[in-house]
Amino acid sequence: MIELSMLRGPIRLARACFYATRNFAAQVRHRRDSSVASAANIDIGSPSLFQAIKFQIMNAFWNFVGPLLGLGARAEELTFVQISLRGVVVFIATLIMVRLGHKRSLSRKTAFDAVLLVILASVLSRAINGSAAFFATLGGGLVLVLLHRLLAFIAYHSHWFGILIKGRPELIIEDGDFVLNTMHRNHISTHDVEEDMRLSLRDDDLSKVKKGRIERSGDISFIRK
C-alpha cells in the first residue's frame, strides 16, 4: 500500500500547475501592456495605457511630418521641397483663419483692418522661411485673427469703442468750400481732393459738391448738390 508521504510531491506539483494555468491569460496581458508601456517610459500602474498609445501616435506623426516640413531644422538647412510644403500648409491655414475672421478682415476699411493683414502676413511668413517655430507661428496667427474678430464684435456693440479703434470721418468740403483746418490736420492738399473728384465724380468743379469727407479708411467721398 502506497504511503501518503509519497503522494505529497506530485500533489504539490499538480497544485502549482493548476494556479499557473489559471493565471496564464492575466500574465500574458500584463506582459503585453508592460512591453508597450516600457517603450514610452510609462509606468503600467499609472493612469491606464492610454497615455502610452497617445505617445506612440504622436511620435509616429512627428516622425512622418517632421522630415517633410523640416521641423526642428534651421532656416538655412531647409530644402526647396520643405519650404514649398510649408507654403502649402500656411496657405491653407491662412484661408481657414480668414474665413474665421469673416469678410471684415479683408475689407481694409480702417487702419484697424489693415494692421491685421500686415501683421498676419509678417507672422505667417516666418513659418514658411523657418525663422520661427512652425506650429507655434500658426497658432500666433490664429490668435491675431480671433483678437481682431473679438474687437470688431465689441466695436459693433459699443459706438465709443468703435471710434476709439477705427476713428471717425471728417468734413473737408462744405457747400463748395474747403474746410482748411481739417485738410491741414490730415495733410490733404487741394490737389489731392481735386484728383479724387476727377476719379469719382468725373468732374473737378468744386461748386457742385455739397459735402466731402475723408472717411475712416482714408478715402475721400463726395455728395453732389
What confidence tens digit (pLDDT) does each residue in 66-111 have?
Answer: 788 888 888 888 889 999 999 999 999 999 988 887 666 666 678 8
Domain ranges within the chain, ordered by starting residue: 4-68, 73-164, 169-224
- Of the given ranges (34-48, 115-129, 156-170), which has the lowest mean pLDDT? 34-48
The CATH number of 169-224, from 3.30.1490.20, 3.30.240.20, 3.40.50.1000, 3.40.250.10, is 3.30.240.20
Predicted TM-score (pTM) of the model is 0.66
Q: Residues 121, 63, 32, CA angle at the centre, nearest 5°? A: 140
SS3 210: strand
What confidence tens digit (pLDDT) does each residue in 143-194 have?
Answer: 999 999 899 899 999 999 989 988 899 999 999 899 999 999 999 999 999 9
**Alpha-helix runs per DSSP H in the chain:** 8-22, 24-39, 50-69, 80-101, 104-107, 111-129, 134-157, 159-166, 180-185, 190-200
Question: pLDDT band for position 50 (50/70/90)?
Answer: low
Mean pLDDT, the chain, rounded, equals: 79
- Of the given ranges (49-63, 184-198, 204-218), which has the lowest mean pLDDT? 49-63
In the chain, % of residues over pLDDT 70 = 73
Under 8 Å CB-to-CB from 138, ≥6 apart: which residues?
90, 93, 124, 127
pLDDT at 106: 66
The conformation of residue 158, written as its DSSP 8-state character, comes to: -
pLDDT at 22: 44
DSSP per residue, 78-98: --HHHHHHHHHHHHHHHHHHH
pLDDT at 108: 65
Under 8 Å CB-to-CB from 126, ≥6 apart: which residues?
132, 137
Taking a C-beta distance cutoff of 8 angstroms, is the pair 62, 68 a contact?
A: no
